[in-house]
Structure 1
Amino acid sequence: MGDCNSETNRLLKEFYVPNYILDPESEREPISYTPGCPVIVFINSRSGGQLGGDLLVTYRQLLNELQVFDLKEEAPDKVLHRLYSNLEKLKSDGDNLAAEIQKRLRLIVAGGDGTASWLLGVVCDLKLAHPPPVATVPLGTGNNLPFSFGWGKKNPGTDRQSVKSFLEQVTKATEMKIDSWHIVMRMRIPKEGSCDPIAPPELPHSLHAFQRVPNADSLNRNGYCTFRGGFWNYFSMGMDAQVSYAFHSERKLHPEKFKNQLVNQSTYAKLGLTQGWFLPSLPQTSSRNIAQLATIKVMRKPGYWEKLNISHSIRSIICLNLPSFSGGFNPWGTPSKRKARDRDLTAPFVDDGLIEIVGFRDAWQGLLLLTPKGHGTRLAQARGVRFEFHKGAAEHTYMRLDGEPWKQPLPADDDKVVVEISHLGQVNMLATLNCRSKSINDPSSPSSGQQDEDSSSGESEEDTEAKRKFGAADTFKLPTAYE
């Protein structure tokens, strides 16, 4: 656990996880104490330029090296599958320490929003009786997830004192439930070329691109590629996703230029200019017009879909779960009492089973978010959203899921590409006193009593079973004996 003074040793004991719990092949250690806040740490060493690698070194110096994982070397599904399988085995052998560690365990993930979403998806896939809550270290460009729960949005210090301060915050953090959203994307397999319309590396981790929905899955259709995943912050499409895609593409080509958060944000803004995000919306082409690209339907009441009519000036749509987008802005804002009454709109709660749908004409409208009561064009709050893309003027559009963008091919014939979003369940996050997210169950939250009494999703038993996992990989599921 490194060379530390006695006070530091005492503190770090609270987070320690013994070798034999992490590695089934290790011999049991005689531990005379029970850690109060055992943690498993996942770090994306590629995030934050050099910061990810530096943070990895510091955590491994302070904690047991085996409880700190580099996501470049090992995926979180394999780590957690191995850990929980071993914990269940040890518990069945009467190991009380293993039982306590499992009960108190907290996860820390350091990376961008896409990295955090990847881990959340894996935790959901495991279907644990008591899933561990997750703390997020801001190590990306936007850092919307950490900012929403009070962990800040600036890249953290990587020295020992900074890491110890963060660990102390983890011990004091409170658990907060947030909605998780299921997303299904279906497109026809092309008649020519690759059987994958999008190369797997181009799709976000949280859409589980490397294994499509298997043939036995009820969502599978012959002749189609179906992807299934989940998100916790947002799904967006249009110009904002196009700018994000340009940024990520540039970073892949020249990673040496993206080692500073301020430089990254400046580059992002410049790309917004070159991609036309700041140009007036009136002369825009149909390829930038959401209304001509897709038919959008929303489910306001369980089981009832209705078409959402949107202005032809809208060039970007965001389906938002948390009150943070594009580095900390809240596009939904808080509707006035009149709008809440006339349009049946509520404040943006993170656990009410509703997703906020916001439109933007251009980046100039986005700058309104800098004003005290600024917001985008509020389109709807819904329990589900469906995008249907038909053959049109554009060959592709751009989409983004929790910070990870991709270039989405659109139909070339009479077929359609369908993206459907629906409520799945909830996950546990760790929140500090500076948390910006609001719970509908918190009496101190504004308008906390406005949730409909009927909060069911209107899904059949078959639909629920089909969506019991975000991922398509069977390895994400615990062995039957340990469920």
Structure 2
Amino acid sequence: MGWGKEHDSNFDPTDILQRIQTAHSVQLDRWAVTTKCDTRSLGFRGAQQRMFMYNYMSVGVDAQVALNFHRTRESRFYLFSHRIFNKLLYLGFGTQQVVERECKDLDKRIEVYLDGEQVNLPSAESIVILNIPSWGAGVKLWELGLQGNEDIGMQSINDGKLEVCAIYSSFHIAQLQVGLSQPHRLGQAKIVKIKLLDSYAVQIDGEPWLQNPCEFVITHCDHASLLKSNQN
């Protein structure tokens, strides 16, 4: 934690080793994500799959952009691997979603429950579940616009709670990345349940896929030990 979102290709190994020596150990919540597939007209009976989440999970437009980028990189026609080109390609897919809006009306095709209570959703194209502060290339999503607002709980990586936000659109993501907006905070919870009533892109810790209708249940599992840099 706190090592930065990326490293320059000319990084100094000695500096990294020195930072490791002075780093301190922290505990990070580890979450189990149980998927119940919808095999009989949204009856949610069928095969179950269990995955684990350390950083974040999302359903909707940001996962769709990640999925489009992933598919392009997996294509045999993909010939570039330079970081700048990849960033431009990612930007292109994000801009595409501003126009095409593949995840429009997501709020009408998804149900979100926090500790057993269904929450009202705004018009949104993405639902983001956070375990760590950083999301979307380093955006401190939950912290945006929190200054002076004591009614909203602070975020911690080891408090046994998740933060859940709604994102309005791909353009809203661009605003968040430059600090011109804030997310729609749905709340904090120890158990998060999501009922997906249609097929949408989903990602866990940056790994995207296209998910058919299902039910996700996210529960606390245990902890992982990490080294946190003292220079950040």
TM bucket, shorter chain? 0.7 to 0.9
Identity of aligned residues (%): 23
CA 1:251–1:367 in 2, change beyond 3 Å: closer, same or farther? same
CA 1:250–1:177 in 2, change beyond 3 Å: closer, same or farther? same
1:183 to 2:5 alignment: no
Q: Which residue of 2 aligns with 1:318?
A: 128
1:254 deviates by: 4.4
Q: Which residue of 2 aligns with 1:399?
A: 202
| Structure 1: distance between partners of 2:202 and 2:46 | 19
1:181 deviates by: 1.3
CA 1:255–1:169 in 2, change beyond 3 Å: closer, same or farther? farther
Larger radius of gyration: 1
1:262-273 superposed matches below 5 A: 262-273=84-95
| Structure 1: distance between partners of 2:12 and 2:77 | 26
What TM-score, normalized by structure 2, do the two folds share? 0.88
What amino acid is the match of 1:165? D
1:290 to 2:106 alignment: yes
What TM-score, normalized by structure 1, do the two folds share? 0.44
| Correspondent of 2:153 among 346, 349, 367 | 346
1:357 to 2:179 alignment: no
1:242 to 2:92 alignment: no
What amino acid is the match of 1:309? N
| Structure 1: distance between partners of 2:29 and 2:180 | 25
What amino acid is the match of 1:429? L
Query: Deviations 1:20-57 (Å, cap 9, x if unpaired)?
Result: xxxxxxxxxxxxxxxxxxxxxxxxxxxxxxxxxxxxxx
Higher helix share: 1
| Structure 2: distance between partners of 1:354 and 1:331 | 15
- 3-state DSSP of counterpart to 1:270: helix
CA 1:324–1:173 in 2, change beyond 3 Å: closer, same or farther? same
| Structure 2: distance between partners of 1:402 and 1:186 | 19
| Structure 2: distance between partners of 1:296 and 1:153 | 29
Higher strand share: 2
| Structure 1: distance between partners of 2:110 and 2:167 | 15
C-alpha RMSD of the superposition: 2.5
1:375 deviates by: 2.1
- 3-state DSSP of counterpart to 1:332: coil
Give aligned pairs, total.
228
| Structure 2: distance between partners of 1:151 and 1:246 | 27
Q: Which residue of 2 aligns with 1:18?
A: none
1:165 deviates by: 2.9
1:257 deviates by: 3.3
1:333 deviates by: 1.2
5+ residue gaps, structure 2, are none
Name the stretch that deviates more: 237-246 or 253-262: 253-262
1:265 deviates by: 1.1
- 3-state DSSP of counterpart to 1:346: coil
1:255 deviates by: 7.4
| Structure 2: distance between partners of 1:256 and 1:155 | 24
